[in-house]
Structure 1
């Protein structure tokens, strides 16, 4: 029987080996008696220390507290907390690829210690300090000679299929992972992928042929003894998957938003002043977590990041996010997390009861700071959102706000109005301030030099 004060994390109820729960504001994981053999091997074989030492597995400590479920409990551990949880359908191509290669690397190291991954869910990976890290301590089990890799199908559905679809069909198809919580079905991926992928041996084998095998054996009882796999064959499968993933390369296409700063109406003076103003506001508030909405390639995310904040750098353009993530890797940046996210249609809660994977808004919570730079005119004009709606939304996700207002006579706003009737009579700075004052206190308003634009620092009303 669970303790009344404990709250089980909604996304961890499926695993009979244990579950995550919170108590007194702290995060814990109960390990059940059924997982005793595998947990003891994980800790005793040196695998845990090897993976943590390489930065591949989230660290934990064993703690002496009461079990959340005493009748099933073996141990309780306290894992390091991941500051912001993201999901695979919010990752760019290279993030998903790096997560796939990390999963396979962990499997190879586990095999050297006599263990395997019993599942290969992309949800077991989170980005910490700019790198993919495995977070599910209970995914390891003892390797038994001759048994095939039980996580093979899951790896293909969670990683290989979406990567192939992004590479050969359309990079936006990663959003399909939001529809299928256990990965994109291989028969669907096989049907969507172009015929030329059948002539690439790795994709033919692991997606097309694999999908055919699933159809063929869907209603058959399979005797596992008839499908034994040697240790050499097991290793060969992992190496084949690794090769398949490494060969998938996506050349970023041209994008209006990825090239935004190359086609901006900011003068050099205005751009530098905008950076100065944002840095000044960030330094004044000293937020720990910043949500940068419409971050593009992360130029101002980095301005905020230099002040030490963790910046969730969101944009709806996969090309811009890809370039942002590549910059994170190139610079070894530890406090910027690029994500593909459309704030006009953010990731909803999905899975059982709509709570197994939390919505983006729920995960964003009440952030210390929200930045909305060069964004309001797109929301108001391109998406027909009234200032009142925008203000209410932004007040629901952050305590402080840095927001830019761009007047209607600005060339970027005129570009939006060039192909449509101007019905936006309320799009004025006076109305903008009036609606935002209902949700925020305006602390300061600074006009950007050599520009008609203004940047505001606001605090949510209590």
Structure 2
């Protein structure tokens, strides 16, 4: 049977991930056999999987290997949706950082260490961060520093410090710097007051200066021949944990943070809309739903009643953060809040444009939910309705979309300080544009005070 590699895992000589006959496997190469077997024998793997910190796997037959270099073949538990650090909220990045440090502490206690501390080793699964790189562990060599220290700072601590101390939108720098935000850049961007905080001073500012000074030096030269005891590495990890804990951000003050409480809907009208949405989704029998423009996820939770996996996208950092905090607090395993600007969605990135998948490449979803959104795209961003329909047809097997007319107060707000250059933004123009890409199966009225006649439309692309 042919196999197909996962393009994001080609850099590691110890093994790689691939598909064969619709099943995901991880091959452990012979070059890493001793380290892998030692990790399993130590009990570290069992400890981490039992604590839901590391993705569990089962041993598969060696005959399923991709090539003759295999020492073992693993079949890991599937993660329902692959996301990336530049799509996470502040709280998600912080939880992923704390998970990485917790795993490093546990590994050191058993005589192992993380070879790398990439944020891409973490995914969000069942409402919580999960470490997915089974081959990141190797025996710790007494006297050596943590090789992944700089990577942890650039992937986690520095972005968190910028998001909490400068502007939460600094997290988007991770989309430009896939290998982590450079220490020198981050140090220059951080506020002056961070020089007075021990964690920021040591791990970011002085670290950046040391990197500049010793960029071309060997580790032995940079450390002046001194060895580093394991207890010192544990102390470093604990210091990093305190620095991460010290990064805090309150989700408020953004454009759409208060939309849930500042909209046209009374409680009865919102409840009626929720029932309508749930009825339409149940008719589609969708297993996965993407709620685009989800805000804090009120309708994502309605979708979760009929779908096993709901990805709740929004462009507002505070709204996504509030959604994630609710997921954690209420233990909602089927909802994944993510940052996403639909007018500039995550592209294919990395080597050959294949290491990090675009939003479209991670679809299509069984159903896309687009409520109170189309007017923002068409009027707020000058996107013609046929273009909007074309995009949704690429990412959705089915679509539930709400049309918001110009008589609606939210649309009038968009047009308040600009000329109305949108003659085709009408109910008829909407139906014409989406009728070219979808077959409309039903239309439901959505009533709300201070609104025109909204409608929710479930549709399927024509066969």
State the TM-score, normalizing by the size of structure 2. 0.97
Q: Are 2:189 and 1:229 aligned?
A: no
Alignment partner, residue 38 of structure 1: 35
For 2:233 and 2:267, the matched residues in 1 are separated by: 57
Q: Contact 1:316/1:342 (CA < 8 Å) preserved in 2?
A: yes
Q: Contact 1:67/1:73 (CA < 8 Å) preserved in 2?
A: no
For 2:220 and 2:405, the matched residues in 1 are separated by: 70
Please give the per-residue CA displacement for 1:344-385, whole angstroms capped at 9, x wherever unaligned. 10111111011111112211x111000000000000001111
* Cα shift at 1:449: 3.4
Q: Are 2:462 and 1:461 aligned?
A: yes
Alignment partner, residue 130 of structure 1: 127
For 1:403 and 1:380, the matched residues in 2 are separated by: 13
* Cα shift at 1:220: 2.6
For 2:309 and 2:66, the matched residues in 1 are separated by: 35
Q: Are 2:205 and 1:208 aligned?
A: yes
Alignment counterpart, residue 172 of structure 1, candidates 169, 176, 194: 169
User: What is the SS of the residue equivalent to 1:367?
Assistant: coil
For structure 2, which runs of at least 5 residues remain unmatched after alignment? Answer: none
Please give the per-residue CA displacement for 1:178-199, whole angstroms capped at 9, x wherever unaligned. 1111100000000000111000
* Cα shift at 1:268: 2.9
Alignment partner, residue 153 of structure 2: 156
For 2:328 and 2:352, the matched residues in 1 are separated by: 36
Alignment partner, residue 260 of structure 1: 259
Q: Contact 2:62/2:70 (CA < 8 Å) preserved in 1?
A: no
Alignment partner, residue 268 of structure 2: 269
Alignment counterpart, residue 365 of structure 2, candidates 353, 364, 367: 367
Alignment counterpart, residue 108 of structure 2, candidates 101, 106, 111: 111
State the TM-score, normalizing by the size of structure 1. 0.97
Corresponding pairs, count: 458
For 1:54 and 1:357, the matched residues in 2 are separated by: 28
Alignment partner, residue 422 of structure 2: 424
User: What is the SS of the residue equivalent to 1:415?
Assistant: helix
* Cα shift at 1:69: 4.8
Alignment counterpart, residue 14 of structure 1, candidates 11, 15, 40: 11
Correspondences of 1:95-106 after superposition (within 5 Å): 95-106=92-103
User: What is the SS of the residue equivalent to 1:66?
Assistant: helix
For 1:71 and 1:449, the matched residues in 2 are separated by: 63
* Cα shift at 1:266: 1.9
Q: Contact 1:30/1:67 (CA < 8 Å) preserved in 2?
A: no
For 2:444 and 2:356, the matched residues in 1 are separated by: 40
Q: CA RMSD in A?
A: 1.3
For structure 1, which runs of at least 5 residues remain unmatched after alignment? Answer: none
Q: Contact 2:254/2:317 (CA < 8 Å) preserved in 1?
A: no
Correspondences of 1:237-316 after superposition (within 5 Å): 237-316=236-315
For 1:348 and 1:227, the matched residues in 2 are separated by: 45
Alignment partner, residue 401 of structure 1: 399
Please give the per-residue CA displacement for 1:119-164, whole angstroms capped at 9, x wherever unaligned. 0000000001000000000000001111110110000000000000
* Cα shift at 1:68: 4.3
Q: Contact 1:190/1:208 (CA < 8 Å) preserved in 2?
A: yes
* Cα shift at 1:341: 0.4
